[in-house]
A and B are shown apart, each in its own frame.
Chain A
Amino acid sequence: MGKEKAPVADRYARFMLRHRWAVIFGIFAFAIAGAFYIKDVNLRNDPDSLLPLTNRYIATNLYAERQYGMGNIMVWGFKLRQGDIFQPWFVQMLDDFYKDASKLAFANEENFIGLPSSRMRHLGLSKDGGLDFKRLIPASGLSADAKVREQQIRFLKQGIQTHPVLEPLLVYYEDAQGNKCNLVDKNGVLSNQSVAHAHEECTARATFIIGDFSNGLKNHYLDWIKSVHELQARYEQRYGDRVEFIVSGEPYFLAAMVEEIRDKAWLFGISLLIVLLVLWYEFQHWNCSVFPLLGVGITIVLTLGLMGFTQFKLTTMMVLTPMLLLAIGIGHAMQVTRRFTQELQRNPHDVDQAAYEAIRHTIVPASLSIGTDLHGFFAISFVDISFYKAYAYFGIFGMSTLILTTTTLIPLLMTIVPPKLGSREAREKPWETSLGSAVTALLTGKWKWIPLALVAAVVWASAHYAELGRGVSALLAGEEGRSDPEVARIQDEFDIMPGAEKGINYPRAAFKDHYLLGELFGNGEVQEISDLDKFSQMMPGAITANMIIRSKAGVLPPCGSDARDEEDNRIIGPDKCYDDMEDPPQGIYNDVSVLKALSDFEDWLRKYPHVGYSTSYIQFLKTINMMLNTPAGEAPMKHMNLFAVPTHKHMMANRYAYADQEDPDYLPDPTEIVQLYNAMLVSSSGPGELDSFVNTSTWDEGVIISFINTMDPVETHQTVVDIQNYLQQHANDPGMDKVIVGIQAGEKIPVGTGGKSIITEESIPDAKAAIGGFLGITEATRDVAFAEWLHAPAMTSMTVFAMTAIMFRSWYIAFLLISLCFITLMTQYGLAGYMTSIKEWSANLAFHVQVALSIAMGLGIDYGVYMVSRLREEMQVTKGEWRQALQNTVQSTGAAVVISVVVLLGSVIPLMNTKLANTWSVSLYVAEALILDVLLALLFLPLVVRWLKPKYIFAEKS
């Protein structure tokens, strides 16, 4: 192989030297051009764009956001340190904060909700007995007159405490011991007892403001979050001694991640410093330290420039790419620099010859090494997840440029500014010699079983935490075992390692709960997570689940102007088109049986333990029914039994409310009632306002939104399964038999603004309902993780196996090397199992972590490749003296491998000290794998080679 490739390498080296100035200027020119595009890097950090849009969950969520809005919800919490929320100064502060928050950039003011909202009205009776709907807090704020102000506060308290829908959402009650007092009972129902307990024995300790923002903020995260911080700081400064301010929400989370990257950019400088120190230690020359950094720096600039130029939508996880390029690039840079200095030692006055030899000798192994590195990226480029693709595309690009920026550029620069060498460069360092001696002694002496035992122990521990045994047992249990739902699940999902949870807790995948750097400087608590935890405890739910309800039958198109002649006579009949002013109403939301079925579904949802709250158009109907049918002069809240869809059965059971005094036998027609309510609602709401709940054009589709009170990956998955099972079990109930829930496979869904659309694929087994909202995204992410956790590493291992087999022309060696990769992979699954066992949801085997499996495999194989190549070389040099060959290999290549991994760890350790969980977890998995790869390459591989005696290495002796 070497003889065939040498001429190419020679020609390449000569060509580069001949045109060195053009090459140098060319590389620098591209780097400068790339630098201009760095500012355009689109760090959008938008989770909606991560997953394949064809996935039914994602398509449902996309459809829901497009049709019904409310995609960027923020929550502010205000918890009093003493007393209740019904204090004048607090109400005034709340009112002021509400107004300021609704003026923030990109705020959809009309969707804000809180006690000061104009939507917050008294649902009661006026003195005259009419229904009363005054604002709870006057539009102009509280009065300056103390007496009037007191009356206003009393009215506010009474108003919110008789509000059955908004009180559970907006007010947090706490007992004297600091425990939450729930307004709803264990069945999720507002009962007289539970409400009385909260009102009489607990204190209204906190309230919330919920805001909605437009997508425009995604292009201005940093400015936007700065204004959010400033707003909060202003109020904290004035009221912080009396009020605890809490903030959370999807846009806040995503913006905070981008902000964290900016704020911790100096850590990148620490990485560079570590690398510089290692280079200085290794070469003891400033230009031998600076040129490698310069070369790798150019690669990083080019890669970032390409990101900016292509406007690829990126996430904060992409910060790992420059760090990986730094780590891997420095390894290559060191190889070529070392070779250059060695050649210069031989011919001290011929820098051109040194450069020629350095390029000629390193270009092929560097290309092969980079080739194996690329496999990890290549494999993940086929996964339909945008950040996987981003990793792959920019990783492949960056890695490829290293051939030019390190292996080629560094020797060329050294011909212009050559290092002044002494005699010490030729010698190996003492630690390298010691390493060679110690490892050789261990692997050829009586303690050689220790590495084997350690490897066995690590594999066993990994299998234990990943619960490989339970997975295998479940798979072998066959049909008989399927009565156990968990066994059936393992079989269906081929979850051979059930101990390693593949689902995702999105907030914890974004942020850690504590971080080391913070601990070192005082407070390591991550506020984004602690605030979210507080909200989760205080509010009904932190993430949403959207159920899109559509009809099976569809509706007729509206009649156009051609439906009537000049004299206004209808010429296109009601069988062909629909005239909403004349024809009987169409659409499932005008059908009382459908409304009742949906109401039953929502009642079931509200009782479900992981659903804290729900809302839909059905709540409109039920409330308006209660308000309009409560006997005149009586408070509607005293007739909660009328909070119902007015079916015939309901009206029979509550005849007192529906009977006509002038015609005792009369009961209204349920269909006419709901159609009247629909008409009243649509003609009385602001244009487009009802569209958050129901399609008022067709009345044939709507949405049910529920709030999920858990983010535990196991519980969120169970919630999805249980909702899907409910819908399947009731699919043929009256009313439900007319609807479909969620987007189905094969549907055409518009995406973006340019008229683009996608066709959905069947991504959910048994055609179960697709759920939108963050719960749906979470489930889709879990599905993707299950599809990829074995698949992507398998793809990588296949290509790595093929590559190594071609490189060494030995199936034996390829098999040996890939076996090492599998050991490493097993330990990564074990690590995931351990993280699952301690519920560390920042680092379980969720999809963002899985990307590390393939990347680490591609990078880790290098160490084995280096060792095998060198062992063969040394066996030839020493004429088959295994012990000497091993010692020579370890103290040269082994030492270089150790240095490489030190550089890599030096690069990623700072990265692990931000608050961001995704970069931490990926770094953790990559670092764990590479450390193990190095140990296996040094301590395990030689043992196996010695025992198996592959011809590739032992051929000469035989």
Chain B
Amino acid sequence: MALAGKLLYMIIRTLCVSILLLFFSQAWALKAPPYPQGELNGQQIAEQVYAVSHGLLVRNAVSKQHGKDIAVLVNRAPLERRKNGRRPIVNTFETYGNSHPQSPELDSMQMAIIKSGKAKGTGILFVSYADENKPGIMSVWLPALRKIRRINEPSYEDTWVGTNLTYGELVLRKPEDETHELLRSDVFQDCLPVMTLGPKEVSRYTRKLPDSQCGHKGKAVYVVKSTTKFKNWWYDYHISEIDKKTFAIYRTVYYKAGKKIKTIVIDWQSLDQEDPRIQYPRYIYAITHDSGVDSMVYVPRSTIQLNQDLPDAFWSEATLKKFGKR
């Protein structure tokens, strides 16, 4: 009978998380902090990480198909459900992020367009407001229905586009939602893992997924423990390893009741900007340890453009319709 509940949950989530990639900016009234000097505490490091990962350091950012290169999102089922030959679910997409809209009421605007498969042409526009008390609005263009639907912003614990990542982790969570403690400085020792596909899982898009990244080995990192302030939350704390120079967060491990439950790694790469903190996440790989569910996002460098000359009106329902017209 729990199936019935699951059914409704799925429907609900379909609507509230059918937004694709909010990678590059999500300012939430926070503005880019200056490059820090001197010794930092856990809170200061967390604020820097937030600025880096939420794109506060650029005006706008675009990930757009370039030739045959396009951003890809790959989700795999739990281990026990992976039958022989079962293919991962793949989506390709373009994203358009605006971290500094001209209207003072607006805080940021994001747009994503699905570029392949049955949902091809579906577009999502997410607008967040400078007033922290005003919730964001998500508009979804449904090409088969020729219709725009508006949906309220998702919750922290809602999962993101069928992955094992939550909106809280990627977008909504702010530094003040957690208590941050600098545990130590260290040297990053490992290669960053990637989704390892079996021969029958490989398809046209997944064969282009990158190999494990070992280039961050030997980099100096902060090790920070962040404890949630929310009651009865899905994790108790997480431990992150953060590049001391770029504030790129390479690895985050979540714990609940002392048990490791999820690991997220991000291969941050430089965009050759003056500020070393301006980077892009070449890939994100997240694995849930109990079930083996894993997800990977891959953004080829060739698809990325920064600070494009785009008016605020570009982030509109009209653009969604234009991009998504069948």
Contacts and interface: CB of A to CB of B under 8 A. Distances in A.
A121 B163 CA distance: 20
Contacts of A751: none
A166 B8 contact: yes
Contacts of A705: 3
A141 B231 CA distance: 8
A685 B4 contact: no
B63 interface: no
A623 B8 contact: yes
A259 to B, nearest CB: 24
Given A581-B204, A628-B149, A568 B90 contact: no
B157 A585 contact: no
The 7 closest A-B pairs by CB, nearest first: A113-B5, A119-B9, A688-B77, A679-B119, A679-B118, A140-B231, A676-B144
Given A121-B8, A135-B155, A676 B118 contact: yes
Interface stretch (A338-346, A559-567, A886-894): A559-567
Interface stretch (B11-19, B32-40, B212-220, B247-255): B11-19
Contacts of A560: 199-200, 202-203
Contacts of A131: 15-16, 149-152
Interface of B: 1-18, 68, 75-78, 81, 83, 85-87, 89-92, 114, 116-119, 122, 135, 137-138, 142-147, 149-152, 155, 157, 159, 161-164, 199-200, 202-205, 207, 230-233, 291, 293-295, 326
A687 B143 contact: no
Contact of B7 (A212, A632, A688, A693): A693
A212 B164 CA distance: 21
- Categorize the interface residue count of chain A: 35 or more
A111 B89 CA distance: 21
Contacts of A685: 10, 13-14, 162
A676 B5 CA distance: 22
Contact of A628 (B81, B114, B145, B291): B145
Interface stretch (A231-239, A664-672, A804-812): A664-672
B12 A119 contact: yes
Interface stretch (A122-130, A218-226, A472-480): A122-130
A117 interface: yes
A624 B151 CA distance: 13
17 contacts: A111-B6, A113-B4, A126-B152, A128-B135, A133-B13, A166-B8, A169-B5, A212-B2, A560-B199, A580-B203, A581-B117, A615-B7, A629-B145, A658-B145, A678-B118, A683-B91, A683-B161
A163 interface: yes
A166 B15 CA distance: 18
B87 A683 contact: no
Contacts of B68: 568
Contacts of B18: 680, 683-684
Given A133-B16, A140-B233, A696 B89 contact: yes
A692 interface: yes
Given A666-B146, A679-B118, A680-B119, A692 B8 contact: no
A73 B2 contact: yes
Nearest to B204: A564
Contacts of B205: 581
A668 B203 contact: no
Nearest to B19: A684
Given A560-B202, A580-B117, A697-B87, A688 B15 contact: no
Contacts of A117: 5, 9
Contact of B144 (A112, A672, A693): A672
Contacts of B200: 560
Nearest to B16: A133
Nearest to A661: B146
B152 to A, nearest CB: 5
Given A128-B152, A697-B83, A707-B1, 12 more contacts: A120-B5, A130-B152, A169-B1, A558-B87, A561-B204, A620-B7, A628-B147, A632-B149, A679-B118, A685-B162, A688-B78, A691-B81
A482 interface: no
A707 B2 CA distance: 12
B233 A581 contact: no
Nearest to B207: A561
Contacts of A688: 77-78, 81, 291, 293
A687 B293 contact: yes
Interface in A229-288: none
A533 interface: no
B6 A687 contact: no
B232 A139 contact: yes
Contacts of B89: 682-683, 687, 696
A620 B202 contact: no
Contact of B137 (A112, A130, A135): A130
B5 A675 contact: no
Nearest to A558: B87
Contacts of A579: 203-204
Contacts of B122: 676, 679-680
Contacts of A681: 10-11, 14
Interface in A115-153: 117-121, 123, 126, 128-135, 139-141
A99 interface: yes
B235 to A, nearest CB: 12
A201 interface: no
Nearest to A686: B159
A690 interface: yes
Interface string A835-862: 0000000000000000000000000000
Given A128-B137, A684-B17, A687-B164, A133 B152 contact: yes
Interface in A617-651: 619-620, 623-624, 627-629, 632
A807 B231 CA distance: 80
Contacts of B7: 165, 615, 619-620, 623, 693
A384 interface: no
A75 interface: yes
Nearest to A659: B146
B233 A686 contact: no
Contacts of A185: none
Interface in A65-83: 70, 73, 75
A560 B207 CA distance: 10
A99 B257 CA distance: 14
Contacts of A668: 144-146
A691 B83 CA distance: 11
Contact of A130 (B75, B78, B150): B150
B8 to A, nearest CB: 5
Contacts of B151: 130-131, 133
Contacts of B233: 139-140
Contacts of B8: 119-121, 123, 163, 165-166, 623
B309 to A, nearest CB: 30
Interface centre among B3, B137, B155, B233 (most CB of A within 10 A): B3
Contacts of A675: 118, 144
Given A131-B149, A579-B204, A690 B10 contact: yes
A210 interface: yes
A691 B82 CA distance: 11
A624 B116 CA distance: 21
Q: Which of B15, B16, B91, B151 has the most CB of A within 10 A?
A: B15
Interface string A529-572: 00000000001000010000000000000111101100010000
A559 B164 contact: no
Contact of B146 (A211, A627, A660): A660
B84 to A, nearest CB: 10
Given A70-B3, A113-B6, A123 B92 contact: no
Contact of A684 (B14, B146, B149): B14
B232 A140 contact: yes
A689 interface: yes
Given A139-B232, A165-B7, A561 B293 contact: no
